[in-house]
């Protein structure tokens, strides 16, 4: 079996022209080590490898491209994800292609239905985009659904917050692909949740919402987890 772990980072907004953000540097080092632990290849991608003029978050779906068909399985992680120290779990042996947390079942699906009533179908999930594990057959099936009309849908979804999650939701509908299993949420365990040492991969998050909006303290939150020996 030939397996690959992918992360994608392309600077946006205030990061353009600046060095790679500290948390991205640490995450990519961490996940690269995880790939080595599994005997998998690792690629850090940038630019627009999926479709030009789509937001950076959509570009991780480049793994659907034919050029990646040489890989039996591809896992994709966001660039603020960290393997928990001592974790021996193998993402390529896990059941499911993505996590489906409660917030996606309720709030994200509701928001998507309001934004795109003709594209939303609650009989199909909107998966969390922070962690995917796609076998070749799934990737090829999703690719078969892409035509000129679907390309237009991509452009509609890209400016909205749903990005790759919304695109994948529509592709699965068109393919009539329903899931029997979802990835365990331990594969994308938010850093503000309890018992972090029992997670597999921690998603280092913003400080939860306060008055005036979220406070980006991911670097601080990440350094605290490192000091506590939970991640490295």
**pTM summary value:** 0.93
Give the pLDDT band (50/70/90) at residue 208: low
How confident is the model at residue 170, as a pLDDT? 98
User: Which residue has better confidence, 68 or 213?
Assistant: 68
Mean pLDDT of the chain: 94
98 DSSP 8-state letter? B
Instruction: Judge whether residue 214 has pLDDT over 90.
Output: no
Instruction: Judge whether residue 219 has pLDDT over 80.
Output: yes
Would you kindly state where each structural domain of the chain is located, as residue ranges?
3-186
Structure tokens at 101: 């947390």
178 DSSP 8-state letter? -
3-state SS assignment for residue 125: coil
How confident is the model at residue 19, as a pLDDT? 85
CA angle 81, 82, 87 (to 5 degrees): 135
Give the pLDDT band (50/70/90) at residue 201: very high
Of these ranges, 2-16, 78-92, 198-212, the one predicted with the greatest mean pLDDT is 78-92
Fold (CATH) for 3-186: Spore Coat Polysaccharide Biosynthesis Protein SpsA; Chain A (3.90.550)
Instruction: Judge whether residue 42 has pLDDT over 80.
Output: yes
What CA–CA distance (Å, rounded) separates 113 from 126?
A: 11
What are the tens digits of pLDDT across the range 113-122? Answer: 999 999 999 9
């Amino acid at each position: 079996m030939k397996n690959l772990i992918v992360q994608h980072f392309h600077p946006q907004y205030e990061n353009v022209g600046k060095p790679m953000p500290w948390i991205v540097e640490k995450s990519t080092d961490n996940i690269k080590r995880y790939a080595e632990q599994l005997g998998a290849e690792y690629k850090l991608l940038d630019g627009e490898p999926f479709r030009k003029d789509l937001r950076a978050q959509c570009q991780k779906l480049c793994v659907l491209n034919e050029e990646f068909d040489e890989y039996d399985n591809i896992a994709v992680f966001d660039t603020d994800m960290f393997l928990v120290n001592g974790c021996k779990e193998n993402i390529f042996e896990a059941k499911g292609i993505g996590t489906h947390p409660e917030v996606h079942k309720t709030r994200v699906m509701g928001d998507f239905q309001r934004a795109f009533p003709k594209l939303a179908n609650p009989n199909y999930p909107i998966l969390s985009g922070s962690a995917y594990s796609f076998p070749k057959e799934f990737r090829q099936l999703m690719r078969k659904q892409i035509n000129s009309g679907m390309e237009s849908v991509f452009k509609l979804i890209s400016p909205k917050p749903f990005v790759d999650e919304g695109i994948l939701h529509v592709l699965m509908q068109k393919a009539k692909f329903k899931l029997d299993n979802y990835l365990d949420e331990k594969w994308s365990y938010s850093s503000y949740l309890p018992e972090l040492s029992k997670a597999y991969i921690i998603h280092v998050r913003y400080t939860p919402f306060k008055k005036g909006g979220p406070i980006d303290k991911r670097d601080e939150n990440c350094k605290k987890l490192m000091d506590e020996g939970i991640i490295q």
